Copies of this chain bind each other. A is one copy, B any other.
Amino acid sequence: MTKHFGTASVRFSNPPSIIGAAAIVGPKEGEGPLASYFDKISADILFNKDTWEQAESELMRQTIELAVQKAGLSAEEINYILAGDLLNQNSGSVYGARSFGRPFFGLFGACSAIGMAMGLGAMIVDGGFADNVVANASSHFCGAEKTFRFPLELGTQRAPTASWTVTGDGAVVLSSNGNGPFVTSATTGAIVDLGQKDVNNMGAAMAPAAAEVIKNHFNDLYLPHDYYDVIATGDLGLYGSKLAEQLLQDSGFDFGERLVDCGALIFDNENQDTHAGGSGCGCSATVFAGYFMKKIRDGEIKKMLLVPTGALHSVVTIQQGETIPGIAHAVAIERKM
């Protein structure tokens, strides 16, 4: 049976259920407006480890452990872990997943990672290849600054359009059995690159990809524009989200207040000095696994489209004069099937 439609949308015939979700964040996120929605706030940004990289792996390990526990499963009942992060060679995920001894797929979609992990994970479950999978994404402010910008010790001033990488991990357990919420459909994005080169304005680089995948999703599946209560982009931030909104409006999609951005939600910019807002794989992952999952479970949100966004450049490609390729993946989560 064909389950795919249009550009790259799939509708699941047996929508996988999210039977467990967990979000653990660092101290700064724990001082933000969504603090009460996270499962755990670590006062120690090193998570009791010696390096930023080890800290991210430990954060990832703890979050998966908690999500699996909340799902009422043991690690042995997880068929696959799908995980992405920002560090070179997926170090955050690799070393964090190591102790579980479960079949492992490392993903790279930059900050779109949780969308990719949930989309692929749902295909694996709906396709009959697994009973339970973990979809995970993590990032760490200090590790990301070291990898992509400057060592923190330099105290470099930040551009107003720069975003603040979230220290956080969001994990969801998708299962062939469960009472929801369900992953009902997904649209996978292509790389969209309009020539943006400014790494201090990644929202602008990702906005066209976000607009594109949202349009494709609605068009491919013939959905009315008011189908979802919430459409949440990943981490376009305060500036990029305006661009995406404009691009969508130009194409006849006016979602009004339904359209929000995880990067704009997670910090209080006025008091936390986060400039464009939150970013990083952990941004959409924690805001979804923490904030939105609670609102869905409480019935406040019945249907939502999560659209994590990623900027796929590396330091080396930017130094060579390349532009920033953007990508976004859309995943639909509905309270009932």
Indicate if the CB atoms of B325 and A94 lie closer than 8 Å.
yes
Which of B88, B109, B193, B312 is A314 in contact with, Cβ under 8 Å? B88
B residues in contact with A8, CB < 8 Å = 79-80, 102-103
Is residue A188 contacting chain B, with contact meaning CB distance below 8 A?
yes
Cβ-defined contact, B104 with A106, below 8 A:
no
How far is A327 from B144 in the complex, measured between Cα atoms in Å? 25
Q: Does A221 contact B (CB under 8 A)?
A: no
For A94, give the chain B residue with the smallest CB separation. B312
- Determine whether A236 belongs to the interface, using a CB cutoff of 8 Å to chain B: no
Q: Contacts of A74 on B, CB cut-off 8 Å?
A: none
* Binary B-proximity of A87-107 (CB < 8 A = 1, otherwise 0): 111110011011011111111
- Contact flags (1/0) for A14-43 with B, using CB distance below 8 Å? 000000000000000000000000000000
A80 and chain B: residue at smallest CB distance? B188
Asked whether, in the complex, the Cβ of B320 is within 8 Å of the Cβ of A189, the reply is no
Cβ–Cβ contact A90 & B106, under 8 A: no
CB contacts (< 8 Å) of A50 on chain B: these are: 320
Q: Known contacts A103-B190, A107-B107, A109-B106; decide if A315 and B88 are in contact (CB<8 Å).
A: yes
Q: How many residues of A contact B (CB 8 A)?
A: 61
Contacting residues, chain B, for A259 (C-beta < 8 A): none
A251 at interface, CB cutoff 8 A: no
Known: A91-B316, A104-B190. A10 touches B129 (CB 8 A): yes
B-side contacts of A316, CB under 8 Å: 53, 87-88, 91
Tell yes or no: A4 within 8 A of B by CB: yes
Chain B: which residue is nearest A316 at the CB level?
A: B53
Interface residues of A in 113-170 (CB under 8 A from B): 116, 120, 123-124, 126-131
CB-CB under 8 A for A107 and B104, given A54-B320, A126-B127, A312-B90: no
Give 13 pairs: A residue, B residue, CB < 8 Å, sorted on A.
A2-B131, A3-B128, A53-B320, A88-B314, A88-B315, A88-B316, A89-B314, A91-B313, A94-B325, A95-B325, A103-B190, A104-B189, A104-B190
3 A-B pairs closest in CB distance: A127-B127, A8-B103, A89-B314
